[in-house]
Amino acid sequence: MLNNKHIDLSEPRVMTIVNVTPDSFYDGSRTFTEEEIERRVAQAIAEGADMLDVGGYSSRQNADEVSVEEECARVCRAMKVIRRVCPEVAVSIDTFRAEVVQRVVANWGDCIVNDIAAGEADSQMIPTVARLGLPYIAMHMRGTPATMQSMTDYSDVVEEVHNYFVRKLDELHSAGITDVVIDPGFGFAKTLEQNYALMDGLHRLNDLGAPILVGISRKSMIYKLLDCAPAEALNGTTALHLEALRQGAKILRVHDTREAVEVIKIYNQLNKSKQEQ
Please tell me which residue in 219, 258, 265, 272 is annotated as part of the active site.
219
Q: Is 219 a catalytic residue?
A: yes
Phi, psi of 158 (to 5 degrees): -65, -45
Q: How far apart are CA 130 and CA 151, in angstroms?
A: 30
Please check whether residue 238 is in contact with residue 263, taking contact to mean a CB–CB distance below 8 angstroms: yes
Nearest to 181 by CA among 249, 100, 245, 103: 249
Q: How far apart are CA 163 and CA 128, in angstroms?
A: 25
Q: How far apart are CA 15 and CA 241, in angstroms?
A: 13
3-state secondary structure of 146: coil
Please tell me which residue in 253, 258, 265, 272 is annotated as part of the active site.
253
Helix (H) or strand (E) holding 253: strand 251-254
Q: Is 250 a catalytic residue?
A: no
Q: How many CA atoms lie within 13 A of 235 on its CB side?
A: 6
**Apex 252 CA angle, 94 and 119, nearest 5:** 35
Residues marked as catalytic: 219, 253
